[in-house]
Amino acid sequence: MEILKRDYETTFVLKPDLEDEEKQTILKRVKSAISEHEGEVTEVDAWGKKQLAYEIKDYRSGDYTILEFNAQTTVVNELERIFKIMDGVLRYLVVRNDA
């Protein structure tokens, strides 16, 4: 039986004062969580530092990254768990791409 995979997109905002090595560690952890659930990252778009619409945890800017991938539905729960426990993540959002 074939396992159903869907297309997803996640956007996450990191603290702007993180070192490049710390940002890469977070990105690697997210990618490995996707691949552990038999998913595939299709595109990574690092926007860099952008001004936030409102202050989050005393930060006025954040480092944005958009990641597109396809995976099983179980990967969403795992990604949200990872984002919640990482200190460098200010905000995150995982959505399913229907188009």
38-80 residue pLDDT tens: 889 999 999 989 999 999 989 999 999 999 999 988 899 999 9
pLDDT value, residue 69: 94
For strand 59-71 and strand 89-96, is the pairing parallel, antiparallel, or unpaired?
unpaired
| pTM of the predicted model as reported, rounded to 2 decimal places | 0.85
Domains of the chain with CATH codes:
6-96 (3.30.70.60)
Q: Has residue 82 got a pLDDT over 60?
A: yes
Report the alpha-carbon distance of residue 5 to residue 45 in Å, rounded: 21
Report the alpha-carbon distance of residue 61 to residue 38 in Å, rounded: 34
Rounded average pLDDT over 77-95: 93
Lowest mean pLDDT among 3-7, 20-24, 38-42, 93-97: 3-7
